[in-house]
Structure 1
Amino acid sequence: LLVQGVETNFSDEWGTTVLQLAVKQGNVEAVKLLLEHGADPNVASSSDSETTPLHTAIIKGNPEVVLSLIQHGADLTRRDEFGMTPRELAIKRGGAEICKM
């Protein structure tokens, strides 16, 4: 479906994108595939009030997903609904490996 140009930034009725769902599930391969086919790593889930896939990956503690999102242009300065940048969130969550990224 991705090869045929299916919309990668589609969101469901709750505002969750396919990328956000893959990040929540920790599905590294799906995240990489979606990003390679144009999924925007900066589309916030409207149901989560400005939480981007990068914020979610940090909360989930998944460094491989975090790295993939950063490599595909995730905004490191974007603030979530609590006013936290991804870096601030990583520091708060205590993820040393993620903080080094």
Structure 2
Amino acid sequence: MKKLIMLISIFLLLSFNISTTTAFAEPKEFSQGFYTMKDLNLYENNNYFVENKSLHTTGMLIIIDNNSVMQQVIRLGPQSPKYPLVSLLSNYKFIIYGENIKLVLS
């Protein structure tokens, strides 16, 4: 009986002392190409920011709607700060232009 109590006590002590690590979502980098809201995992009416993580490349982000009207054009220099995006709708399309560009949307 003493062994059982000791075993349960040790098990409980170990289970309460296990450290948990929190997982953070890594921002995904996007390169040159054509994208939709679904491709970029973006949702309507949320506030998003874009930044250029590449070291030497200048790039451009163009946001167009269903009628091919440009909603926003941003030129991003190397290692740019975060720029806010317009309020997005589900039918928006994105054009990312720049050789070896690494844009991060957050």
Instruction: Give the structure-2-normalised TM-score.
Output: 0.27
The structure with more strand, counted as a fraction of residues: 2
Q: Which has the larger radius of gyration?
A: 2
Instruction: Give the structure-1-normalised TM-score.
Output: 0.28
